[in-house]
Amino acid sequence: MKLLQKTGLFLAAAFLAVACGPSNTVETGDAQEVAAGSGLTLAVDASTSKINWTGYKPAGKHFGYIPVTEGEVMIEGDALTGARFVFDITGLKIEDMQESDENYPKLWGHLQSADFFDAENHPQAVFELTSVEPFSAGSIVDKEEFETEFTPQKDSELAGANPTHWVSGNLTMRGTTKNIKFPATVSIVDGVVTAKAGFNIDRTVWGLAYGDESGAVDKAKDQFIYNTVSVGFDIKAN
Per-residue pLDDT of 86-99, as tens digits, reads: 999 999 999 999 99
Beta-carbon contacts of 219 under 8 Å, excluding residues fewer than 6 positions away, are 58, 146, 213
Q: What pLDDT shows up at residue 14?
A: 30
In this prediction, what percent of the chain has a pLDDT beyond 90?
A: 65
Instruction: Tell me the CATH number of domain 2-237, given options 2.40.128.110, 3.90.480.20, 2.170.190.11, 2.40.50.140.
Output: 2.40.128.110
Alpha-carbon span 25 to 183, nearest angstrom: 9
The pLDDT averaged over each successive group of 10 residues in the chain (238 residues) is 36 30 73 85 93 96 96 84 93 97 97 97 96 80 92 93 89 97 88 91 96 87 92 92
Q: Of 232, 236, 225, 227, whose CA–CA distance to 59 is shortest? A: 225
Strand partners for 124: 88
Q: How far is CA 179 from CA 31, 90, 168, 190, in A?
A: 5, 23, 7, 30
Average pLDDT of the residues of the chain: 86
Q: Dihedral angle at the C-alpha atoms of 160, 127, 179, 163, nearest 10 degrees?
A: 20
CB 226 within 8 A of CB 43: no
What end-to-end distance do the CA atoms of the chain give, in Å? 15
Alpha-carbon span 27 to 4, nearest angstrom: 22
